[in-house]
Chains A and B, each alone.
Chain A
């Protein structure tokens, strides 16, 4: 019986996004995905490339909140765009809104774009990321305000938006998984609709459905999200996140 916390289950679920990714740049956003990407490279995805959060490619494994001990390359922002346009990257972003077909919003909330009710960051790199290389999402708070029937500003492109825009936007669109504080989802439903893949320990399918503002696809019985092994827990707790920063990003 594992004593893994919810946050540790989330870390592993994020890490699984990069399983079998090969030699690509893993670009996590947020604490839990950052721990997840480092866990993936330290265990089942050793070929991943990781940055220090700024302009250096870091080798080895190092704790969150500290500097890497070894550098293997230089990756200033301009080079990130060159690389992402080539497709050798898998990003995990943190949207404020996401819908059934994977449209994701980090820009602004409200019906009138000229005068939003809540201004957020702007679209950042989300439009270019999503149409060029694999993309996953991390939503620590799974609520109806986050899982909406339609987003106010399409920052990350979803399957229906790409289909409407034409073949070049669909060509490399590859939305992989959405990890939340409650569950793991993907886009394996009809017409790439969001599908419930697994629920975290102690969470029911009904609980997830109750906080999602659209119908989730399901394939029969929904399993429980995989628990970290003893070795994965050791890496998380002793090597990558000894200060337990992960626990502050996930509500118990």
Chain B
């Protein structure tokens, strides 16, 4: 049985500058943040990022990794806007390909099904069409209706974070929503799943319904054991969003000195260093050794 376990840095070593990379999760929920942090540490650049965006997008923009962003929104949920994404857009630093959220779903699904496009009403009449001259309409061969042809969004790589997986790549979500993680994996040439815990295969269904196993090993190239790997986004039911840390992230973004300090503490270190720094920040000062 192939063991697909890898480290974050081994995943990033398989990526190249200029690639189109899809990132699962939604807003500030169940984002593969340890993989994002590994990209921040790498020399990858000029990436096209496809995401229902949260701090994954903000951090990659702050590090100058993003050439083009394909998205329906970028939000931190409990804080409406991500400051780094805003700054990148307002500086004209990234190309913006903006889709309705449902169009993004349709584009990933089309890529997963190896179709060139899927028809939809969503987007017609909106700025999504007027800001994107590459979009085309299609006439139904049955009723003659003119619909928008949402192009497939094939990905070079997909990064998703799930609650559990086995070493072969069967992955499980235990929270309320899978979001579009399975479609990100199926739309990608290579999909990498980070997870809170790697279990033996039979353990996956010992305490959970088989319907939670929505990502199977045929869709997955690598499995990354990453406890607390979605931090500071939520990973229900394992943990909630770290709201205090998210606020600190937002507040630091507004000031170059504070951002340098944030970066030195949390981003210019490896994943173990990040997790240790988070733990030290969360503990009251008196409790420190």
On A, residues with C-beta under 8 Å from B are 54-56, 74, 76-78, 81, 84-85, 105, 107-108, 112-128, 130-132, 153-157, 161-162, 164-169, 171-173
Contacts and interface: CB of A to CB of B under 8 A. Distances in A.
B150 to A, nearest CB: 10
A247 to B, nearest CB: 20
B265 interface: no
Contact of A115 (B73, B91, B100): B91
Contacts of B91: 115
Contacts of A126: 100, 126
B115 interface: no
B229 interface: no
B72 interface: yes
Interface in B147-170: 147
Contacts of B96: 113-114
A124 B85 CA distance: 15
10 contacts: A55-B176, A77-B26, A115-B89, A116-B89, A122-B73, A123-B128, A132-B122, A153-B131, A157-B124, A168-B124
Nearest to B74: A122
B140 to A, nearest CB: 9
Nearest to B109: A78
Contact of A172 (B72, B95, B121): B121
Contact of A54 (B73, B89, B92, B177): B177
A77 B177 contact: yes
Contacts of B130: 154
Contacts of B81: 119-121
6 closest residue pairs by CB, A with B = A128-B122, A115-B92, A165-B125, A127-B126, A122-B73, A55-B176
Nearest to A157: B125
Contacts of B73: 121-124
Interface of B: 26, 53, 71-75, 80-81, 85-86, 89-92, 95-96, 98-103, 105, 120-131, 145-147, 176-180
A117 B86 CA distance: 10
B156 to A, nearest CB: 23
Contact of A157 (B89, B101, B126): B126
A252 to B, nearest CB: 23
A15 to B, nearest CB: 24
Contacts of A120: 81
B176 A54 contact: yes
A56 B177 CA distance: 9
B122 A127 contact: yes
A156 B179 CA distance: 23
Nearest to B179: A77
A236 to B, nearest CB: 24
Given A157-B125, A167-B145, A84 B102 contact: yes
B22 to A, nearest CB: 16
Contacts of B71: 122
Contacts of A128: 100-103, 120-123
Given A54-B176, A77-B26, A114-B92, A153 B102 contact: no
Contacts of A56: 176
A161 B145 contact: no
Given A76-B177, A108-B89, A166 B146 contact: yes
Contacts of A76: 176-179
A130 B124 CA distance: 10
A76 B98 CA distance: 22
Nearest to B105: A81
Nearest to B90: A119
Contact of A168 (B26, B86, B129, B145): B145
Nearest to B140: A168
Most buried by A among B75, B122, B146: B122
A162 B146 CA distance: 13
Given A77-B180, A115-B91, A127-B128, A121 B122 contact: no
